[in-house]
């Protein structure tokens, strides 16, 4: 798989977040009924609990996102790899 192919499927998955300002933060579940979330691009798992391959920090949507702050998450790797293609910028929270 070429680098372009590796990026394209993640771009397609996260296309609804294009152009957003995301906030780097520690993961906290959005709802009491949720125990985890996934990266909008690659589907890496975010959770408050410990386990193999669990992400605990990443980039989340802000208050200006229609569904609210921390509703969508992007892992650190995808943010770094895709920020130019996706026109993302980041705020520290």
Q: What are phi and psi of 86, to 5 degrees?
A: -90, -5
The H or E element spanning position 74 is strand 73-75
Residue-range definition of the domain harbouring residue 76: 3-92
- Residues 23-70: pLDDT tens digits? 999 999 888 898 999 999 999 999 999 999 999 999 999 998 999 999
Antiparallel, parallel or unpaired: β 57-60 and 21-26: antiparallel
The pLDDT score that the predictor gives to residue 3 is 55
When comparing pLDDT for 29 and 3, which is higher?
29
Residue with tokens 């705020």: 91
- Residues 68-90: pLDDT tens digits? 999 999 999 999 999 999 999 99
Q: What are phi and psi of 84, to 5 degrees?
A: -70, -45
Residue with tokens 């520290």: 92
For residues 62 and 52, what is the distance between their CA atoms, to the nearest angstrom?
Answer: 27
Number of domains the chain is built from: 1
Q: What are phi and psi of 6, to 5 degrees?
A: -60, -40
The pLDDT score that the predictor gives to residue 93 is 59
């Amino acid at each position: 798989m070429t680098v372009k192919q590796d990026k394209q499927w993640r771009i397609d998955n996260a296309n609804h977040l294009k152009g957003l300002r995301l906030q780097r933060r520690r993961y906290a579940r959005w709802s009491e009924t949720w125990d985890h979330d996934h990266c909008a691009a690659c589907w890496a798992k975010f959770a408050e609990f410990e386990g193999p391959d669990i992400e605990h920090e990443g980039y989340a949507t802000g208050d200006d996102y229609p569904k609210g702050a921390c509703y969508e998450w992007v892992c650190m790797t995808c943010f770094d790899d895709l920020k130019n293609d996706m026109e993302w910028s980041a705020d520290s929270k």
